[in-house]
Amino acid sequence: MPGFRPAISFTLVYLALIVLIPLSAMLLKTFELSLDEYWAILTNPRVQASFRISFGAALIAAFVDGVFGFIIAWSLVRYTFPGKRLFDALIDLPFALPTAVAGIVLAAIYEPRGWIGKLVMDSLDVQIAYKPLGIVFALIFIGLPFVVRTIEPVLQEFDTAMEEAAASLGATRLQAFVKVILPNILPATITGVALAFARGVGEYGSVIFIAGNMPYISEIVPLLIITKLEQYDYAGATAIGLTMLILSFLLLLLINGLQWWVRRRSGQL
């Protein structure tokens, strides 16, 4: 193939400068610790709690995004309604908005005296902000466009004649949806959920304002890293960072595997 050498050289240099060198620097820094020290940091209850919160909240938020993102993408592709283009543009807002701004706005709205926060507090007696639930809400907000934007093109390309074929063969609307539409859209949905999840795990700006940042309760891993950095505990910070990297990598691998399995089962491989 023409252009192989320049293209592959560029790719390798770029990958090294932007991805590999910073990551290996992190790895090297972690090596300043002994294995025992590393283990001690990881088994610290506060660190473990923050891991549970970060990964748990990101996972829940990604799944919620998966469901609602699907419905929103469906509405945008299948129906025409006034203001559709504006609505469509709004979906990308979480991409564009500085995350800190989003965080402050979300905190203001969902706090116990905020517009929605007060409503929920009064009617359901549930507090959103300054609780793990607040973190989930912030991550749902941040992750939604990933899901919508990955499902949309696939749904657009979906051949509606398949639905008509299902109906002509006697399938109900529900059967057509479950047996024909869903399997075709599922791989894209999983991709979207994986992206939302990956973004959510590392999200900092929009979360810290609404989280309340109480150790053991609503403290996320990125915040813990910042705290360690502020205490000049660089090795400790990189140890947590590295662990997070490994966990994220494993989870993404798992999601990719799931996607491969779904595609294989549905003949798209």
Partner 1 sequence: MSISVNHISKHFGAFTALDNISLDIPEGELVALLGPSGCGKTTLLRIIAGLEQADQGDVFLKGDKVTDKPVKSRQIGFVFQHYALFRHMTVFDNVAFGLKVKPRRERLSNEVIAKKVHALLELVQLDWLHDRYPDQLSGGQRQRIALARALAVEPSVLLLDEPFGALDASVRKDLRQWLRNLHHDLNVTSIFVTHDQEEAMEVASQVVVLNHGRIEQQGAPGDIYDHPANAFVSRFIGQTNVFDLDEHDADWLQTAGLSTAQQKGKIAHVRPHDIVIEKSTAGTDTFVTLKDWQHLGSLIRIELVKSGANGQVASVYAEMPNDQFRRLQLNRGDKVELRIRHAHWFH
Q: Which residues bind partner 1 (CB under 8 A)?
A: 159, 161-162, 164-172, 175, 179-180, 183-184, 265-268
In the bound complex, what is the minimum distance in angstroms from residue 157's beta carbon to partner 1?
11
In the bound complex, what is the minimum distance in angstroms from residue 260's beta carbon to partner 1?
14
Q: Whose Cβ is closer to partner 1: residue 92's or residue 159's?
A: 159
Q: Whose Cβ is closer to partner 1: residue 183's or residue 202's?
A: 183
Residue 66 C-alpha from the chain's centroid: 10
Are 102 and 94 in contact by the 8 Å Cβ rule? The answer is yes
In the bound complex, what is the minimum distance in angstroms from residue 196's beta carbon to partner 1?
24
- Buried-state track 57-79, b at ≥16 Cβ within 10 A, e below 16: bbbbbbbbbbeebbebbbebeee
In the bound complex, what is the minimum distance in angstroms from residue 186's beta carbon to partner 1?
9
Report residue 264 as tokens. 């294989």
Q: Whose Cβ is closer to partner 1: residue 48's or residue 266's?
A: 266
The closest of 141, 176, 174 to 160, measured between CA atoms, is: 176
The closest of 76, 98, 64 to 206, measured between CA atoms, is: 98
Q: Whose Cβ is closer to partner 1: residue 11's or residue 268's?
A: 268
Q: In degrees, to the nearest 5, what angle opens at C-alpha 46 toward C-alphas 253 and 62?
A: 35
